[in-house]
Structure 1
Amino acid sequence: MKLDITSFTGEVPWLDSHLLEDTQAETAIDCRLTNGSLRAYRAPLDEQVLNDSPKTIYLYRNEGERYWFDWTTDVDVIRSPVADDPNNRVYYTGTVKGPRYTDNGLALSGGSDYPVNDLQLGIPEPDVAPVVSLSGTPLEDAEEVDAETRFYTYTWVDQNGREGPPSLPSGEIVVKPGETVDINVGASPGAVDLNITHYRIYTSTQVGVYQLCTQINNSGTIGTDTPVGVTSVVDETPMDRRGDILETIGWVAPPNNLKGLVVLPGGVAVGFSGKELMFSEPYHLYAWPAAYRLTVEYEIQSLAVAANSVIITTDGYPYVAFGTEPSAMTMERLDTAHACISKRSMVDMGDMALYVSPDGLVRIAGGRADLMTRNIINPEDWRERFQPDTIHACFHDGRYFGFYGNAVNGGGFIFSPDSGTFTELGTYADACYRDLQDDSLYLAIGDTIKAWDKGSELMPYRWRSKVFQGKPAAFTSARIMADSYDNLGFRVFRDGDLVLELQVASDRGFRLPAGRGSRWQFELAGTDTVTAVIVASSMAEL
């Protein structure tokens, strides 16, 4: 009688151990299962020590240098969608201060706990309407038909030229040729982290739009932009010298509890608050018009982007929103009710997304939702073993890296949606981050960021076979085929008892303790690459 294990695959907790296929494992911890061989990962490589244990990490690059941003809250970070942004801006939600943004000037100056500084995302509407009155003298030949009925409004503008929504309009004023308009506006918004530096004044036109007043007199200085704090100015703009049409009507700031920030092709940011799905103005991520919002039936939990669509998970049904413009998005509810129970479990995997439900890992792709772990682990074991409501995850090398629990009572797992391979990790991470530029996975373990599988030392694995069950048999000999024999332990269990434990030193066959058993199981532990395990009832069969 002979057993040949010439290929190694992962766990299938769904099945009792004796029902597994010969290549499948009852336990596979820290096992790199590629090309059928059993291999070891390299130990994580220390990258940087932080001031605290973070919940979110992000690798920021600027002028060839690397800086780690970290937060102790669940923060969603996106890069600026503007090509070749000279400020290298990033945006994020989930901080105690609400939606924020930072850039290479703010984030890297004045300290080493990055980002050092950031600013509020969004420009508010002025609190008060402008008050207007006439000054000057009408031209002698001016007639009533030459008079223009106007309304005025103004907008706040920050140091980067970002312009907010307009104030309420002024009262009506009728202006004849030769007359100018005195305008009184409110003081600055007062929020110190808005960096609002000036304002712009617009006037209504006969065609029903507001145009920029380009000749505003501020105590003798004529210009378009007026510094905040100057509350009284005069509009001397001729009708034929008016500037651009006001475009920021409805460009409201994002709500303070905006979450889940992602970005669509075309420079549109997407987030959520409660049951509302929200879209920004394209390439103006500080403006989130109310007209661009959609509502679902359940509380939204997380978002991911696939092509031109947004995948939305909730505490009920998942949804998909698709379209080319934020003003014309269409939303569709998927029929399968797979609730998302951990926001941080949602992972964008290119053309699909994976997230955690009470029953296992769910994949959304092509407008369908599928329970990917249906044939790997049953829902009861899933909930008992992996604390799914605590799972956070990253996508790396085509696989889903999930971490659950905490540093004291937790761990991790790797799931490959292509092969269905499921292995466990002996490492718990407080946060993880996948960097596309160097194709690396980074883990925050305690207060240290580590690069996964980058260390010089190999990390020991443990692979335990299925239970081979049948009529009582006597296996007397074994042989292990490996690339090396520097660190390779082998254990044999017979009818539940450990009967042999040794370090394998070569590919030569060796004897097993005498005895018959109806349940046999074999375990490999170490760092050497193993290609086969052969167990037989005689040395000749090896």
Structure 2
Amino acid sequence: MKLSLNSFQGELPVVADRLLPDNAASACMNGRYEGGSLVPEREVYDRVSVVIPGGAGGFQLTDETTIQNAFNNPPAPGSNLSIIAQDSWLITIPTTGDIIRGPLASDAYNRWYIARQGSAPKVRYTKDGATGEKGLAVNPPVLSYSFEIGYADSPASQRFGGGISQRPEGLALVRARQDEYQGSARWYGTEFDITAKPEQLKASLEADEIPYESVFSTYVLTVVSILGEESKISGPSRVVERLESDSIVLGVILQFGDAIFDDPQIEKVNVYRSDGSGSFGYVGSLSRAEYDVQLGESATRLATNSFDVVLWSNGFTAFFVDTVPSSKLGESNITADWDQPDTSMASITNVGAGLLAGHFDGTVCFCEPYYPHAWPVEYQYNFADDKADVEVMGIVATAGFILVTTNSRPVLMFGSEPGAMSQQVVDIVAPNVSRRGLVDMGDYALYPTHDGLMMVSSGSARLVTKGVFSKEQWQALNPAGFVAFRYNESYLCFSGGVAFIFNAETGYFPIDPWAQLGAVTVLDGYYNPASDSFWILLIEDDVLTRIVKFGAGDLAELSWRSKEFQIPGGLAFSSARVEGDEDVQFILTGDGGYSYSATITSDAPFRLPPGRPRTLQLELRSSGRIDAVAVATSMQELY
């Protein structure tokens, strides 16, 4: 008779020891399944670490050069190197949240997007060699605060008195200057006569026998950030009658107020115009640099015999002259529906094809593809339930769908167009109890519920740990505290001082990778496939917050103990064999005081002490791979 184990599984705590499969562990530590064999986990590499003096709840390394150089040139044995965190290569946030790279493959600004509970979403960027951070939202200009006009025959209080909101919109008509006109304004080298009303301009053109036509136009503005992000359009101006002529340059003055450049992150203002077509074509822009030049000018009064317009005074400090005929309008504006992200957006994740997804309360939202600052209201999906308030707990994109976990039922979303996503509510009450425990596993996702680990694929949802843990055993792991990752195609999870690897096919493998550290709580982590580096943010002894490299230290000693095998009476096992690539401590115990322990240094069979125990249990310990183990009643059976 031979007991042979050619593959190994992890623990199945809910199963009684005598009923375990032959290759399942009754106890194991620091081992994991790999290709049918049992392999040891590595400890964390803590001789080099990044120290975060102020603490953190989440992080992202935007450039690994500094820390990788330190790992490539480690300190002398017995000493450690602590690198102080720097903003130039590390982003930290004080609480749990998401930090993701932008969707552009070659982003000139190296943008990273940040969302967390209790704070408006932000973007971290690099510009002109310096690192900066700003709000993700680019707020549209408020048109009534942006345009100003003053007519000589308007009441002074309407032109210049009171607050900005009391002033009418800034539209005035101009024509190219002729010598007989006294007052003028200069715009890019051209001098213009200013005429406040269409009737006056028409009269002057008719007097000069210049043909013209009337065009009724509406203006909108957008602002553009220092990162080239264009805002949603402002509200429209009133309709203004413009005059166009093939013989002379005619135009409209738009005068801006101080508030247009109050936000230091705004680089320029874009002007768009509609001439009745329904779309707004590009007219031109006023940059901050041009605004600053105008701001530096003295307050100037421009006048003609019959009216005046005041520029650069009373809080209205810049102007723009539109001389673009209808036939020369630029590209149509595309930002009419580009709303700002909700200020309470608590998560952000990349779901592919330039699309980012986030959530706030019970609503899932999407950005405009490849424009992460624009989050149209039309791309929002509310998961309200008639029976209860639904709160979104986390979002993850798998190979075939987007999974939205809630405090009730999970929801699958399908589609590539953010405004046309289909939804499938999974008919199972399975609340996600830990946002950080939600992990994309490729074709499916895993997340912790009150009862166990839920596996959701495009066609089904099931409690994948049902045959592994009882509810009481599962709750003892503190699923609400899970911080989990996809690691070697398994579910790697940390919760307080507990750490384990779970695989749906091979079971539960507890690990203890912190041999050189004190009491550890894992806060965050991420895997960089480009450098094959897995970084972990942890707090040690409730005091020191630092980043260490997971799976890069020394090999830990794995231990694996089998079930208790029942042996038919009268049989005596005399021989054994262990196959592996390192020395293995082989321990065999049985009833009646039977016990044998030896360090096995080769794959050759070896003799066991005499005895006829009715139960046998194997235990293996090693810092190397174990491929197989067998015990038999004769040497011949081992070959």
TM range (shorter): 0.7 to 0.9
CA 1:389–1:327 in 2, change beyond 3 Å: closer, same or farther?
same
Aligned mate of 2:485, from 383, 389, 394 = 394
Larger Rg: 2
My pick for the range that moved more, 118-127 or 68-77, is 68-77
Paired residues of 1:308 and 1:324 also in contact (CA < 8 A): no
CA contact (8 A) 2:483 2:493 kept: yes
The amino acid that maps onto 2:560 is: W
Q: CA deviation at 1:279?
A: 0.8
Match of 2:236 in 1: 169
Aligned mates of 2:217, 2:532 — CA distance in 1: 58
Q: Name the aligned partner's letter for residue 13 of structure 1.
A: P
Q: CA contact under 8 A between 1:478 and 1:533: conserved in structure 2?
A: no
- Range that drifts further, 132-141 or 25-34: 132-141
Extract unaligned runs of 5+ from structure 1.
110-115
**Deviation of 1:357 (Å):** 1.6
The verdict on how the C-alpha distance between 1:4 and 1:310 changes in structure 2, with shifts beyond 3 A counting, is closer
> Which residue identity is paired with 1:422?
Y
CA deviations 1:487-519 (Å, max 9, x no partner) are: 636363648x89666655666646569785x65
CA distance in 2, matches of 1:181, 1:320: 52
Whether contact under 8 Å (1:490, 1:504) holds in the other structure is no
Residues 1:77 and 2:144 aligned together:
no
- When residues 316 and 219 of structure 1 are mapped into structure 2, their CA distance, relative to the original with a 3 A threshold, is closer
Name the % identity: 25
Report Cα offsets for 1:235-282 as digits up to 9, x if no partner. Answer: 333333332222211212111221332223321211111111101111
Retained in 2: the 8 A contact 1:476–1:539? no
Normalising by the residue count of structure 1, what TM-score does the alignment of the two structures yield?
0.83
Q: In structure 2, how many angstroms separate the alpha carbons of the residues matched to 1:220 and 1:300?
A: 46
Q: Name the structure 2 match of 1:330.
A: 422
Aligned partner of residue 176 in structure 1, secondary structure: strand
Query: Which residue pairs with 2:363 in the alignment?
Result: 276
Q: CA RMSD in A?
A: 3.7
Please say if residues 351 and 396 of structure 2, whose CA atoms lie closer than 8 Å, have aligned partners that are also in contact: no
User: For the Cα contact (< 8 Å) 1:493–1:522, is it kept in 2?
Assistant: no
In the TM superposition, residue 325 of structure 1 has moved relative to its aligned partner by 1.5
Are the counterparts in 2 of residues 216 and 237 from structure 1 also a CA contact under 8 Å? no
Identify the residue that residue 395 of structure 2 maps to in structure 1: 303
Per-residue deviation at 1:128? 4.6
Q: CA deviation at 1:340?
A: 1.1
Q: Is contact 1:265–1:307 with CA below 8 Å preserved after alignment?
A: no
Show CA shifts across 1:8-29 (max 9, x none). Answer: 2211122111110121101121
Q: Secondary structure at the match of 1:389?
A: helix
Residue number in structure 2 paired with 1:140? 205
Per the alignment, do residues 308 and 479 of structure 1 end up closer, same or farther by CA in structure 2, a change over 3 Å counting?
Answer: closer
Q: Does 1:294 align with 2:381?
A: yes
Moved more, 65-74 or 424-433: 65-74
CA distance in 1, matches of 2:291, 2:508: 73
Give the conservation status (yes or no) of the 8 Å contact 1:124–1:164: yes
The equivalent of 1:31 in structure 2 is 31
Q: Establish whether residue 244 from structure 1 lines up as the match of residue 355 from structure 2.
A: no
Rounded Cα–Cα distance in structure 1 between residues aligned with 2:135 and 2:511: 39
Task: State the distance in 2 between where 1:335 and 1:257 align.
Answer: 29
Gaps of 5+ in 2: 69-88, 148-168, 174-194, 196-200, 245-249, 295-311, 385-389, 514-519, 540-544
Structure 1 contact 132–173 (Cα < 8 Å) conserved: no
2:333 partner SS:
coil
- 2-side partners of 1:104 and 1:219: how far apart? 25
**Structure 2 CA distance, aligned partners of 1:324 and 1:459?**
45
Distance 1:498 1:145, change over 3 A: farther
The worse-fitting range, judged by mean Cα deviation, of 435-444 and 334-343 is 435-444
d(CA) in 1 for partners of 2:12 and 2:372?
A: 44
* Alpha-carbon distance change, 63 to 512 in structure 1, aligned in 2, over 3 angstroms: closer
Partners of 2:256 and 2:316 within 8 A in 1? no
Report matched runs for 1:48-67 at 5 Å: 48-52=49-53, 54-61=56-63, 67=89
Q: Which moved more, 1:314-323 or 1:483-492?
A: 483-492
1:183 corresponds in structure 2 to 255
Retained in 2: the 8 A contact 1:396–1:440?
Answer: no
**Number of aligned positions between the proteins:** 520
Task: Return the offset for 1:293.
Answer: 0.7
Give the AA of the match of 1:273. Answer: F
Q: Residue 63 and residue 243 in structure 1: after superposition, are their counterparts in 2 closer, same or farther (change >3 A)?
A: farther
1:360-419: CA deviations, max 9, x gaps? 2222222422222222223332122x2111111111221111111x2xxx22111224x3
Report if aligned partners of 2:251, 2:322 keep a CA contact under 8 Å in 1.
no
CA distance in 2, matches of 1:69, 1:498: 58
Shift of 1:132: 2.2
Q: Residue 443 of structure 1: which of 519, 530, 536 is its match?
A: 536
Q: Deviations over 1:105-164 (max 9, x none)?
A: 48x74xxxxxx6322112012245231232423352399993333332212211222110
Match of 2:134 among 105, 119, 144: 119
